[in-house]
Chain A
Amino acid sequence: MTTWIDASCILIVFFALSILATSRIVGMIQIFVLQSFVLSLMPLFLHANAISAHDLLLSFGTMLLKAALVPFVLFWAIRHISMRSEVKPLIGLGSSIVCGALLIAGAFWVSLSLRLPGRPETDLGLPCSLATVLLGFMIMVTRTRAVTQVIGYLVIENGIFLFAVSLFDAMPTLIELGILLDIFVAVFIMAIVLNHINEEFEQNSDIASQSKMGETF
Protein backbone atom coordinates (compact mmCIF):
# COMPACT_ATOMS: atom_id res chain seq x y z
CA MET A 1 0.00 0.00 0.00
CA THR A 2 2.93 2.33 0.65
CA THR A 3 3.46 2.65 -3.08
CA TRP A 4 -0.08 3.87 -3.55
CA ILE A 5 0.18 6.32 -0.67
CA ASP A 6 3.46 7.72 -1.98
CA ALA A 7 2.08 7.94 -5.48
CA SER A 8 -0.96 9.85 -4.20
CA CYS A 9 1.22 12.31 -2.32
CA ILE A 10 3.32 12.90 -5.41
CA LEU A 11 0.25 13.23 -7.60
CA ILE A 12 -1.26 15.85 -5.34
CA VAL A 13 1.85 18.01 -5.62
CA PHE A 14 1.98 17.34 -9.34
CA PHE A 15 -1.62 18.53 -9.76
CA ALA A 16 -0.86 21.66 -7.75
CA LEU A 17 2.04 22.31 -10.08
CA SER A 18 -0.19 21.72 -13.09
CA ILE A 19 -2.74 24.20 -11.79
CA LEU A 20 0.08 26.70 -11.53
CA ALA A 21 1.06 25.95 -15.12
CA THR A 22 -2.44 26.07 -16.57
CA SER A 23 -3.55 29.09 -18.48
CA ARG A 24 -7.28 28.45 -18.53
CA ILE A 25 -9.59 28.77 -15.55
CA VAL A 26 -11.71 25.79 -16.57
CA GLY A 27 -8.59 23.69 -16.85
CA MET A 28 -7.53 24.78 -13.38
CA ILE A 29 -10.83 23.68 -11.91
CA GLN A 30 -10.66 20.35 -13.71
CA ILE A 31 -7.20 19.65 -12.36
CA PHE A 32 -8.42 20.68 -8.93
CA VAL A 33 -11.14 18.04 -9.20
CA LEU A 34 -8.51 15.41 -9.96
CA GLN A 35 -6.43 16.56 -7.03
CA SER A 36 -9.37 16.42 -4.65
CA PHE A 37 -10.29 13.00 -5.93
CA VAL A 38 -6.83 11.62 -5.21
CA LEU A 39 -6.91 13.34 -1.83
CA SER A 40 -10.24 11.77 -0.96
CA LEU A 41 -8.82 8.31 -1.61
CA MET A 42 -5.95 8.88 0.80
CA PRO A 43 -7.81 7.81 3.99
CA LEU A 44 -8.66 4.50 2.31
CA PHE A 45 -5.09 3.87 1.18
CA LEU A 46 -3.73 4.76 4.59
CA HIS A 47 -5.93 2.33 6.47
CA ALA A 48 -6.21 -0.28 3.75
CA ASN A 49 -5.81 -3.10 6.26
CA ALA A 50 -8.85 -2.16 8.28
CA ILE A 51 -11.08 0.44 6.73
CA SER A 52 -13.36 1.85 9.38
CA ALA A 53 -16.62 3.70 9.03
CA HIS A 54 -14.74 6.85 9.98
CA ASP A 55 -12.40 6.47 7.01
CA LEU A 56 -15.26 5.78 4.65
CA LEU A 57 -17.18 8.78 5.90
CA LEU A 58 -14.18 11.05 5.64
CA SER A 59 -13.30 9.80 2.18
CA PHE A 60 -16.83 10.07 0.93
CA GLY A 61 -17.32 13.49 2.52
CA THR A 62 -14.15 14.84 0.95
CA MET A 63 -15.07 13.45 -2.42
CA LEU A 64 -18.59 14.80 -2.31
CA LEU A 65 -17.60 18.28 -1.16
CA LYS A 66 -14.27 18.90 -2.81
CA ALA A 67 -14.53 16.87 -5.98
CA ALA A 68 -18.20 17.54 -6.70
CA LEU A 69 -19.87 20.41 -4.87
CA VAL A 70 -17.02 22.90 -4.78
CA PRO A 71 -16.19 22.54 -8.50
CA PHE A 72 -19.89 22.75 -9.24
CA VAL A 73 -20.11 26.07 -7.39
CA LEU A 74 -16.99 27.33 -9.13
CA PHE A 75 -18.32 26.38 -12.55
CA TRP A 76 -21.60 28.03 -11.63
CA ALA A 77 -19.71 31.16 -10.67
CA ILE A 78 -17.69 31.39 -13.86
CA ARG A 79 -20.75 30.73 -15.97
CA HIS A 80 -22.45 33.68 -14.36
CA ILE A 81 -19.50 35.96 -14.58
CA SER A 82 -18.85 37.27 -18.01
CA MET A 83 -15.12 37.05 -18.01
CA ARG A 84 -12.56 35.71 -20.36
CA SER A 85 -11.25 32.29 -19.53
CA GLU A 86 -7.60 33.17 -19.73
CA VAL A 87 -5.73 33.43 -16.47
CA LYS A 88 -3.92 36.71 -16.01
CA PRO A 89 -0.72 35.85 -14.16
CA LEU A 90 1.43 38.56 -12.67
CA ILE A 91 4.49 36.57 -13.58
CA GLY A 92 4.66 34.39 -16.67
CA LEU A 93 3.70 30.75 -16.67
CA GLY A 94 7.24 29.65 -17.40
CA SER A 95 8.69 31.54 -14.44
CA SER A 96 5.80 30.29 -12.30
CA ILE A 97 6.74 26.71 -13.07
CA VAL A 98 10.40 27.27 -12.21
CA CYS A 99 9.41 29.09 -9.00
CA GLY A 100 7.03 26.21 -8.23
CA ALA A 101 9.88 23.72 -8.60
CA LEU A 102 11.98 25.81 -6.23
CA LEU A 103 9.09 25.99 -3.75
CA ILE A 104 8.86 22.21 -3.79
CA ALA A 105 12.57 22.02 -3.05
CA GLY A 106 12.05 24.52 -0.22
CA ALA A 107 9.26 22.44 1.26
CA PHE A 108 11.45 19.35 1.31
CA TRP A 109 14.31 21.33 2.79
CA VAL A 110 12.12 22.63 5.61
CA SER A 111 10.79 19.14 6.26
CA LEU A 112 14.32 17.89 6.80
CA SER A 113 14.47 19.70 10.11
CA LEU A 114 11.02 18.63 11.30
CA ARG A 115 10.93 15.29 13.01
CA LEU A 116 7.57 13.58 13.17
CA PRO A 117 6.61 11.76 16.34
CA GLY A 118 5.42 8.17 16.06
CA ARG A 119 5.71 6.16 12.87
CA PRO A 120 3.73 7.72 10.05
CA GLU A 121 2.73 5.56 7.08
CA THR A 122 4.77 7.63 4.68
CA ASP A 123 7.56 10.11 5.03
CA LEU A 124 6.33 12.01 1.99
CA GLY A 125 3.18 13.29 3.69
CA LEU A 126 4.81 16.24 5.43
CA PRO A 127 6.96 17.62 2.57
CA CYS A 128 4.26 17.06 -0.03
CA SER A 129 1.63 18.82 2.02
CA LEU A 130 3.95 21.75 2.68
CA ALA A 131 4.75 21.91 -1.03
CA THR A 132 1.07 21.92 -1.92
CA VAL A 133 0.38 24.70 0.57
CA LEU A 134 3.24 26.77 -0.84
CA LEU A 135 2.12 26.18 -4.41
CA GLY A 136 -1.40 27.21 -3.38
CA PHE A 137 -0.02 30.44 -1.99
CA MET A 138 1.88 30.96 -5.20
CA ILE A 139 -1.31 30.50 -7.25
CA MET A 140 -3.13 32.89 -4.98
CA VAL A 141 -0.49 35.60 -5.06
CA THR A 142 0.48 35.54 -8.72
CA ARG A 143 -2.95 35.20 -10.31
CA THR A 144 -5.08 38.29 -10.41
CA ARG A 145 -8.52 36.87 -11.13
CA ALA A 146 -10.88 36.36 -8.24
CA VAL A 147 -11.77 32.81 -9.25
CA THR A 148 -8.13 31.85 -9.50
CA GLN A 149 -7.55 33.24 -6.04
CA VAL A 150 -10.32 31.00 -4.76
CA ILE A 151 -8.68 28.05 -6.49
CA GLY A 152 -5.40 28.98 -4.82
CA TYR A 153 -7.17 29.01 -1.47
CA LEU A 154 -8.62 25.59 -2.21
CA VAL A 155 -5.21 24.21 -3.13
CA ILE A 156 -3.88 25.50 0.19
CA GLU A 157 -6.75 23.75 1.92
CA ASN A 158 -6.00 20.54 0.05
CA GLY A 159 -2.41 20.74 1.19
CA ILE A 160 -3.47 21.20 4.79
CA PHE A 161 -5.85 18.30 4.43
CA LEU A 162 -3.16 16.07 3.01
CA PHE A 163 -1.11 16.93 6.05
CA ALA A 164 -3.94 16.09 8.41
CA VAL A 165 -4.95 12.88 6.69
CA SER A 166 -1.51 11.45 6.18
CA LEU A 167 -0.04 12.21 9.56
CA PHE A 168 -2.47 11.50 12.31
CA ASP A 169 -5.96 10.49 13.23
CA ALA A 170 -6.48 12.37 16.44
CA MET A 171 -9.34 14.53 15.17
CA PRO A 172 -12.87 13.38 15.88
CA THR A 173 -15.01 12.81 12.81
CA LEU A 174 -17.35 15.62 13.69
CA ILE A 175 -14.56 18.19 13.70
CA GLU A 176 -13.22 16.91 10.39
CA LEU A 177 -16.63 17.21 8.82
CA GLY A 178 -17.02 20.65 10.35
CA ILE A 179 -13.78 21.70 8.67
CA LEU A 180 -14.94 20.30 5.35
CA LEU A 181 -18.28 22.00 5.61
CA ASP A 182 -16.66 25.30 6.51
CA ILE A 183 -14.51 25.18 3.43
CA PHE A 184 -17.48 24.43 1.27
CA VAL A 185 -19.48 27.30 2.73
CA ALA A 186 -16.48 29.58 2.29
CA VAL A 187 -16.33 28.80 -1.39
CA PHE A 188 -20.07 29.15 -1.69
CA ILE A 189 -20.04 32.59 -0.13
CA MET A 190 -17.07 33.62 -2.24
CA ALA A 191 -19.00 32.58 -5.33
CA ILE A 192 -22.01 34.60 -4.24
CA VAL A 193 -19.88 37.65 -3.57
CA LEU A 194 -18.30 37.22 -6.98
CA ASN A 195 -21.73 37.09 -8.49
CA HIS A 196 -22.78 40.26 -6.70
CA ILE A 197 -19.63 41.96 -7.89
CA ASN A 198 -20.52 40.95 -11.40
CA GLU A 199 -24.08 42.23 -11.10
CA GLU A 200 -22.77 45.50 -9.76
CA PHE A 201 -20.65 45.88 -12.87
CA GLU A 202 -23.38 45.04 -15.26
CA GLN A 203 -25.61 47.64 -13.67
CA ASN A 204 -22.93 50.24 -13.90
CA SER A 205 -22.51 49.36 -17.58
CA ASP A 206 -19.46 51.53 -17.63
CA ILE A 207 -17.28 49.66 -20.08
CA ALA A 208 -14.04 51.00 -18.72
CA SER A 209 -14.79 50.13 -15.13
CA GLN A 210 -16.18 46.77 -16.17
CA SER A 211 -13.07 45.70 -17.93
CA LYS A 212 -10.99 46.98 -15.04
CA MET A 213 -13.06 44.97 -12.59
CA GLY A 214 -12.65 41.92 -14.76
CA GLU A 215 -8.96 42.28 -14.24
CA THR A 216 -8.91 42.72 -10.51
CA PHE A 217 -11.87 40.54 -9.68
Chain B
Amino acid sequence: MILSIFFHWFFVCLTAPFFLGVIGRVKAFASGKVGPPLLQPYFDLGKLFRKRSIYSRNMTWVFRLAPAVTFAAMLAVSLLVPFGALKAPVQFEGDILLIVGVLALSRFFMIAAAMDTGFSMEGMGASREAFFACLSEVALFMNFITLALLAHSLSLSRMLGADSPVSWNLLGPALLLVVASFFIVFLAENCRIPIDDPDTHLELTMIHEVMLLEHGGVDLAYMFYAAAVKFFIFAAILVPIILPVQTEYLCVRMMSFLGGMLGLSVLVGIVESSMARIRLDRVRNLLLISFALAFFGLIVALWRG
Protein backbone atom coordinates (compact mmCIF):
# COMPACT_ATOMS: atom_id res chain seq x y z
CA MET B 1 0.00 0.00 0.00
CA ILE B 2 2.58 2.50 1.14
CA LEU B 3 4.87 1.27 -1.55
CA SER B 4 2.28 1.70 -4.25
CA ILE B 5 1.53 5.22 -3.03
CA PHE B 6 5.15 6.19 -3.27
CA PHE B 7 5.53 4.56 -6.63
CA HIS B 8 2.47 6.46 -7.88
CA TRP B 9 3.98 9.74 -6.70
CA PHE B 10 7.30 8.87 -8.18
CA PHE B 11 5.68 8.11 -11.51
CA VAL B 12 3.68 11.34 -11.57
CA CYS B 13 6.54 13.57 -10.54
CA LEU B 14 8.86 11.96 -13.00
CA THR B 15 6.66 12.08 -16.09
CA ALA B 16 4.39 15.10 -15.57
CA PRO B 17 6.71 17.90 -16.76
CA PHE B 18 7.65 15.90 -19.83
CA PHE B 19 4.25 16.47 -21.46
CA LEU B 20 4.54 20.23 -21.03
CA GLY B 21 7.81 19.89 -22.90
CA VAL B 22 6.00 18.04 -25.68
CA ILE B 23 3.48 20.85 -26.03
CA GLY B 24 6.25 23.42 -26.20
CA ARG B 25 8.03 21.40 -28.85
CA VAL B 26 4.87 21.03 -30.96
CA LYS B 27 4.18 24.75 -30.76
CA ALA B 28 7.72 25.56 -31.76
CA PHE B 29 7.55 23.10 -34.65
CA ALA B 30 4.25 24.59 -35.85
CA SER B 31 5.77 28.05 -35.96
CA GLY B 32 8.83 26.79 -37.82
CA LYS B 33 11.32 26.95 -34.96
CA VAL B 34 13.57 24.32 -33.46
CA GLY B 35 12.24 25.02 -30.00
CA PRO B 36 13.46 24.08 -26.55
CA PRO B 37 14.51 20.52 -25.79
CA LEU B 38 11.85 18.11 -24.65
CA LEU B 39 13.21 18.12 -21.14
CA GLN B 40 13.14 21.93 -20.82
CA PRO B 41 10.48 21.90 -18.03
CA TYR B 42 12.83 19.73 -15.92
CA PHE B 43 15.65 22.21 -16.43
CA ASP B 44 13.35 25.08 -15.49
CA LEU B 45 12.25 23.29 -12.36
CA GLY B 46 15.81 22.46 -11.42
CA LYS B 47 16.81 26.09 -11.84
CA LEU B 48 13.89 27.35 -9.76
CA PHE B 49 14.44 24.85 -6.99
CA ARG B 50 17.98 26.15 -6.57
CA LYS B 51 16.73 29.71 -6.08
CA ARG B 52 15.48 31.40 -2.95
CA SER B 53 11.98 32.79 -2.53
CA ILE B 54 11.51 36.46 -1.81
CA TYR B 55 8.59 37.80 0.18
CA SER B 56 7.41 41.36 0.65
CA ARG B 57 6.65 42.70 4.10
CA ASN B 58 2.90 42.81 3.44
CA MET B 59 2.62 39.12 2.79
CA THR B 60 1.36 36.83 5.52
CA TRP B 61 1.63 33.11 6.12
CA VAL B 62 -1.17 32.54 3.59
CA PHE B 63 1.14 33.41 0.75
CA ARG B 64 3.91 31.19 2.10
CA LEU B 65 1.53 28.29 2.61
CA ALA B 66 -0.16 28.40 -0.78
CA PRO B 67 2.54 26.73 -2.96
CA ALA B 68 2.93 23.85 -0.56
CA VAL B 69 -0.82 23.33 -0.25
CA THR B 70 -1.30 23.52 -3.99
CA PHE B 71 1.40 21.00 -4.73
CA ALA B 72 0.28 18.72 -1.93
CA ALA B 73 -3.32 18.87 -3.16
CA MET B 74 -2.23 17.82 -6.62
CA LEU B 75 -0.24 14.92 -5.22
CA ALA B 76 -3.24 13.91 -3.13
CA VAL B 77 -5.54 13.96 -6.14
CA SER B 78 -3.07 11.93 -8.16
CA LEU B 79 -3.49 9.08 -5.68
CA LEU B 80 -7.11 8.70 -6.71
CA VAL B 81 -6.45 8.52 -10.44
CA PRO B 82 -5.37 5.34 -12.18
CA PHE B 83 -2.52 5.70 -14.67
CA GLY B 84 -2.92 3.00 -17.25
CA ALA B 85 -1.65 -0.23 -15.71
CA LEU B 86 -1.00 1.52 -12.40
CA LYS B 87 -4.14 1.15 -10.32
CA ALA B 88 -5.09 4.07 -8.12
CA PRO B 89 -3.64 3.36 -4.65
CA VAL B 90 -6.66 4.92 -2.97
CA GLN B 91 -10.12 4.21 -4.26
CA PHE B 92 -13.54 4.20 -2.68
CA GLU B 93 -17.14 4.97 -3.61
CA GLY B 94 -17.53 8.70 -4.00
CA ASP B 95 -13.88 9.59 -4.53
CA ILE B 96 -14.82 11.86 -7.44
CA LEU B 97 -16.26 14.25 -4.86
CA LEU B 98 -12.95 14.24 -3.05
CA ILE B 99 -11.12 14.94 -6.30
CA VAL B 100 -13.22 17.98 -7.11
CA GLY B 101 -13.02 19.12 -3.50
CA VAL B 102 -9.25 18.91 -3.26
CA LEU B 103 -8.85 20.65 -6.60
CA ALA B 104 -11.06 23.42 -5.24
CA LEU B 105 -8.93 23.58 -2.10
CA SER B 106 -5.79 24.16 -4.11
CA ARG B 107 -7.56 26.80 -6.13
CA PHE B 108 -8.76 28.47 -2.96
CA PHE B 109 -5.22 28.76 -1.64
CA MET B 110 -3.93 30.09 -4.93
CA ILE B 111 -6.61 32.75 -4.98
CA ALA B 112 -6.05 33.57 -1.34
CA ALA B 113 -2.32 33.92 -1.94
CA ALA B 114 -2.95 36.18 -4.90
CA MET B 115 -5.20 38.39 -2.79
CA ASP B 116 -2.64 38.33 -0.01
CA THR B 117 -0.05 40.07 -2.15
CA GLY B 118 -2.20 43.19 -2.27
CA PHE B 119 -1.21 43.68 -5.90
CA SER B 120 -4.20 44.82 -7.96
CA MET B 121 -3.27 42.76 -11.01
CA GLU B 122 -3.14 39.59 -8.95
CA GLY B 123 -6.53 40.38 -7.45
CA MET B 124 -7.95 40.77 -10.94
CA GLY B 125 -6.49 37.45 -12.03
CA ALA B 126 -7.86 35.83 -8.90
CA SER B 127 -11.35 37.12 -9.60
CA ARG B 128 -11.21 35.83 -13.17
CA GLU B 129 -9.92 32.48 -12.03
CA ALA B 130 -12.72 32.22 -9.48
CA PHE B 131 -15.39 33.16 -12.02
CA PHE B 132 -14.26 30.73 -14.68
CA ALA B 133 -13.77 28.03 -12.07
CA CYS B 134 -17.43 28.39 -11.08
CA LEU B 135 -18.42 27.49 -14.63
CA SER B 136 -15.82 24.84 -15.34
CA GLU B 137 -16.47 23.05 -12.07
CA VAL B 138 -20.16 22.72 -12.92
CA ALA B 139 -19.24 21.22 -16.27
CA LEU B 140 -16.68 18.95 -14.58
CA PHE B 141 -19.28 17.72 -12.13
CA MET B 142 -21.77 17.15 -14.94
CA ASN B 143 -19.22 15.02 -16.75
CA PHE B 144 -18.46 13.03 -13.64
CA ILE B 145 -22.16 12.43 -13.07
CA THR B 146 -22.56 11.17 -16.63
CA LEU B 147 -19.56 8.88 -16.26
CA ALA B 148 -20.89 7.66 -12.94
CA LEU B 149 -24.21 6.85 -14.54
CA LEU B 150 -22.51 4.97 -17.35
CA ALA B 151 -20.21 3.05 -15.02
CA HIS B 152 -22.78 2.60 -12.22
CA SER B 153 -20.20 3.69 -9.70
CA LEU B 154 -19.06 6.84 -7.98
CA SER B 155 -15.43 5.82 -7.94
CA LEU B 156 -13.10 7.23 -10.57
CA SER B 157 -11.19 3.97 -10.80
CA ARG B 158 -14.34 2.11 -11.73
CA MET B 159 -15.14 4.72 -14.38
CA LEU B 160 -11.75 4.64 -16.05
CA GLY B 161 -10.03 1.44 -15.10
CA ALA B 162 -9.56 -1.52 -17.34
CA ASP B 163 -12.47 -3.27 -15.67
CA SER B 164 -14.85 -0.38 -16.35
CA PRO B 165 -17.96 -1.11 -18.41
CA VAL B 166 -17.55 2.16 -20.28
CA SER B 167 -17.06 1.48 -23.97
CA TRP B 168 -17.68 3.27 -27.23
CA ASN B 169 -19.89 0.66 -28.84
CA LEU B 170 -22.48 0.71 -26.12
CA LEU B 171 -22.38 4.29 -24.97
CA GLY B 172 -20.91 6.11 -27.94
CA PRO B 173 -23.19 9.14 -28.13
CA ALA B 174 -22.98 10.06 -24.47
CA LEU B 175 -19.23 9.47 -24.39
CA LEU B 176 -18.75 11.64 -27.44
CA LEU B 177 -20.36 14.52 -25.60
CA VAL B 178 -18.44 13.83 -22.41
CA VAL B 179 -15.16 13.82 -24.32
CA ALA B 180 -15.99 17.06 -26.10
CA SER B 181 -17.11 18.74 -22.91
CA PHE B 182 -14.23 17.41 -20.86
CA PHE B 183 -11.72 18.57 -23.43
CA ILE B 184 -12.94 22.14 -23.00
CA VAL B 185 -12.80 21.79 -19.22
CA PHE B 186 -9.33 20.29 -19.60
CA LEU B 187 -8.15 23.30 -21.59
CA ALA B 188 -9.77 25.74 -19.19
CA GLU B 189 -8.49 24.13 -16.01
CA ASN B 190 -4.98 23.97 -17.36
CA CYS B 191 -5.05 27.51 -18.70
CA ARG B 192 -4.33 26.61 -22.27
CA ILE B 193 -5.23 28.52 -25.43
CA PRO B 194 -8.01 29.35 -26.40
CA ILE B 195 -9.08 30.07 -22.83
CA ASP B 196 -5.87 31.38 -21.35
CA ASP B 197 -2.37 31.75 -22.67
CA PRO B 198 0.29 30.30 -20.36
CA ASP B 199 3.07 32.10 -22.19
CA THR B 200 1.68 35.58 -22.24
CA HIS B 201 3.08 38.15 -19.87
CA LEU B 202 0.58 40.89 -20.34
CA GLU B 203 -1.13 41.25 -17.02
CA LEU B 204 -4.40 42.56 -18.39
CA THR B 205 -5.17 39.47 -20.47
CA MET B 206 -3.80 36.81 -18.19
CA ILE B 207 -5.96 34.67 -15.97
CA HIS B 208 -3.89 32.05 -14.26
CA GLU B 209 -0.35 33.28 -14.81
CA VAL B 210 -1.04 36.68 -13.38
CA MET B 211 -1.62 35.09 -10.00
CA LEU B 212 1.92 33.80 -9.96
CA LEU B 213 3.64 37.10 -10.67
CA GLU B 214 4.82 37.57 -7.09
CA HIS B 215 5.95 34.00 -6.61
CA GLY B 216 9.64 33.28 -7.03
CA GLY B 217 12.23 30.59 -6.54
CA VAL B 218 11.08 27.46 -4.77
CA ASP B 219 7.53 28.78 -4.42
CA LEU B 220 7.27 29.28 -8.15
CA ALA B 221 8.80 25.89 -8.71
CA TYR B 222 6.09 24.30 -6.58
CA MET B 223 3.40 26.21 -8.41
CA PHE B 224 4.89 25.23 -11.73
CA TYR B 225 5.19 21.62 -10.68
CA ALA B 226 1.62 21.63 -9.43
CA ALA B 227 0.43 22.93 -12.80
CA ALA B 228 2.32 20.14 -14.57
CA VAL B 229 0.81 17.51 -12.28
CA LYS B 230 -2.64 18.98 -12.78
CA PHE B 231 -2.21 18.74 -16.52
CA PHE B 232 -1.09 15.17 -16.12
CA ILE B 233 -4.07 14.28 -13.91
CA PHE B 234 -6.67 15.80 -16.22
CA ALA B 235 -5.08 14.13 -19.23
CA ALA B 236 -4.99 10.86 -17.34
CA ILE B 237 -8.74 11.12 -16.78
CA LEU B 238 -9.45 12.05 -20.40
CA VAL B 239 -7.21 9.51 -22.12
CA PRO B 240 -8.86 6.33 -20.77
CA ILE B 241 -12.27 7.68 -21.78
CA ILE B 242 -11.09 8.13 -25.34
CA LEU B 243 -9.03 4.91 -25.42
CA PRO B 244 -10.72 2.33 -23.22
CA VAL B 245 -8.19 -0.45 -23.74
CA GLN B 246 -9.40 -3.61 -22.08
CA THR B 247 -6.64 -6.16 -22.15
CA GLU B 248 -4.88 -8.43 -19.73
CA TYR B 249 -1.42 -7.36 -20.79
CA LEU B 250 -0.16 -4.66 -18.44
CA CYS B 251 2.50 -3.67 -20.92
CA VAL B 252 -0.02 -2.98 -23.68
CA ARG B 253 -2.19 -1.02 -21.29
CA MET B 254 0.68 1.12 -20.14
CA MET B 255 1.86 1.72 -23.67
CA SER B 256 -1.60 2.76 -24.83
CA PHE B 257 -1.92 5.05 -21.82
CA LEU B 258 1.39 6.75 -22.42
CA GLY B 259 0.73 6.88 -26.16
CA GLY B 260 -2.65 8.49 -25.46
CA MET B 261 -1.05 11.03 -23.15
CA LEU B 262 1.52 11.86 -25.77
CA GLY B 263 -1.18 12.16 -28.43
CA LEU B 264 -3.27 14.41 -26.24
CA SER B 265 -0.28 16.66 -25.55
CA VAL B 266 0.39 16.91 -29.26
CA LEU B 267 -3.29 17.69 -29.83
CA VAL B 268 -3.15 20.47 -27.24
CA GLY B 269 -0.05 21.77 -28.93
CA ILE B 270 -1.82 21.79 -32.28
CA VAL B 271 -4.87 23.53 -30.81
CA GLU B 272 -2.60 26.10 -29.19
CA SER B 273 -0.72 26.86 -32.36
CA SER B 274 -3.76 26.91 -34.63
CA MET B 275 -6.10 29.04 -32.54
CA ALA B 276 -5.96 32.48 -31.10
CA ARG B 277 -6.93 33.20 -27.56
CA ILE B 278 -10.60 34.11 -27.45
CA ARG B 279 -11.83 37.31 -25.90
CA LEU B 280 -12.29 37.19 -22.17
CA ASP B 281 -16.07 37.67 -22.32
CA ARG B 282 -16.32 34.76 -24.75
CA VAL B 283 -14.58 32.43 -22.32
CA ARG B 284 -17.77 32.36 -20.33
CA ASN B 285 -19.72 31.24 -23.39
CA LEU B 286 -17.20 28.54 -24.18
CA LEU B 287 -17.44 27.19 -20.66
CA LEU B 288 -21.22 27.37 -20.84
CA ILE B 289 -21.08 25.35 -24.04
CA SER B 290 -18.96 22.84 -22.23
CA PHE B 291 -21.62 22.74 -19.54
CA ALA B 292 -24.39 22.39 -22.12
CA LEU B 293 -22.53 19.52 -23.77
CA ALA B 294 -22.04 17.79 -20.46
CA PHE B 295 -25.70 18.30 -19.66
CA PHE B 296 -26.66 16.93 -23.07
CA GLY B 297 -24.38 13.95 -22.42
CA LEU B 298 -26.12 13.37 -19.11
CA ILE B 299 -29.51 13.46 -20.82
CA VAL B 300 -28.37 11.00 -23.47
CA ALA B 301 -26.92 8.74 -20.78
CA LEU B 302 -30.22 8.83 -18.90
CA TRP B 303 -32.12 8.24 -22.15
CA ARG B 304 -30.05 5.19 -22.99
CA GLY B 305 -29.77 4.15 -19.35
Contact flags (1/0) for B274-305 with A, using CB distance below 8 Å? 00000000101100110111011001101110
CB-CB under 8 A for A104 and B295, given A14-B180, A123-B303 = yes
Assess A108 versus B173: contact at CB under 8 Å? Given A14-B180, A97-B289, A101-B291.
no
B300 touches A94 (CB 8 A): no
Given known contacts A10-B177, A105-B295, A124 and B288 CB-to-CB distance under 8 angstroms: no
Least distance between B247 CB and chain A CB atoms (Å)? 21
Interface residues on A, range: 20 to 34
Least Cβ distance of B286 to chain A in Å?
8
B169 touches A (CB below 8 Å):
yes
> Which one of B169, B289, B291 contacts A3 once the chains associate, using CB atoms below 8 Å?
B169
Q: Which of the four size classes fits the interface of chain B?
A: 20 to 34
Contact among B176, B282, B288, B302 with A10 in the assembled complex (CB-CB below 8 Å): B176
CA of A98 to CA of B142, assembled, Å: 14
On whether the beta carbons of A108 and B303 are closer than 8 Å, the reply is yes
Is A124 touching B300 in the complex (CB atoms < 8 A)?
A: yes
Nearest residue in B to A100 (C-beta to C-beta)?
Answer: B292
Assembly CA distance A113 to B172 (angstroms): 24
- For the complex, give the distance between the alpha carbons of A36 and B285 in Å: 24
Contact A101 B176 (CB under 8 A): no
Bitwise, A1-22 to B at CB < 8 A (1) or not (0) is: 0110011011001100110010
From A100, A101, A111, name the one whose CB has the most chain B CB atoms within 10 angstroms.
Answer: A101
Q: Are B292 and A94 in contact (CB under 8 A)?
A: no
Q: Is B119 an interface residue (CB 8 A)?
A: no
User: B303 touching A93 by the CB < 8 A rule?
Assistant: no
- B304 / chain A contacts, CB cutoff of 8 Å: 123
State which of A7, A98, A111 has its C-beta within 8 Å of the C-beta of B292: A98
Is A127 on the interface with B (CB-CB < 8 A)? yes
* Contact between B299 and A108, CB atoms less than 8 A apart: yes
CB distance from A165 to the nearest CB of B (A): 17
Q: Are A93's CB and B292's CB within 8 A?
A: no
- Which listed residue, B169, B173, B288, B302, touches A94 by the CB 8 Å rule? B288
Q: Which residues of A contact B285 (CB under 8 A)?
A: 21, 93-94, 97
In the assembly, what is the distance between CA of A97 and CA of B138, in Å?
14
- Contacting A at CB under 8 A, from B163-178, are 168-169, 172-173, 176-177
A101 vs B292: C-alpha distance when bound (angstroms): 5
Give Cα A18–Cα B296 distance, bound, in whole angstroms. Answer: 13
Residues of chain A contacted by B172 (CB below 8 angstroms):
2-3, 6-7
Bound-state CA distance A21–B299 (Å) is 20
Closest to A102 in B: B295
User: A3-B172, A10-B173, A104-B296 in contact; A127/B303 too (CB < 8 A)?
Assistant: yes
In the bound complex, CA of A196 to CA of B203 (Å): 49
Contact B180 A3 (CB under 8 A): no
12 additional A-B residue pairs with CB within 8 Å, beyond A7-B173, A98-B291: A6-B172, A17-B296, A21-B285, A97-B289, A97-B291, A100-B292, A104-B296, A104-B299, A105-B299, A108-B302, A123-B303, A124-B303
Q: List 21 A-B contacts (CB under 8 A).
A: A2-B172, A3-B169, A7-B172, A10-B176, A13-B296, A14-B180, A17-B289, A17-B293, A17-B296, A23-B282, A97-B285, A97-B289, A98-B291, A101-B291, A101-B292, A101-B295, A104-B292, A108-B303, A111-B303, A123-B303, A127-B303
Residues of B at under 8 Å CB distance from A? 168-169, 172-173, 176-177, 180, 282, 284-285, 288-289, 291-293, 295-296, 299-300, 302-304
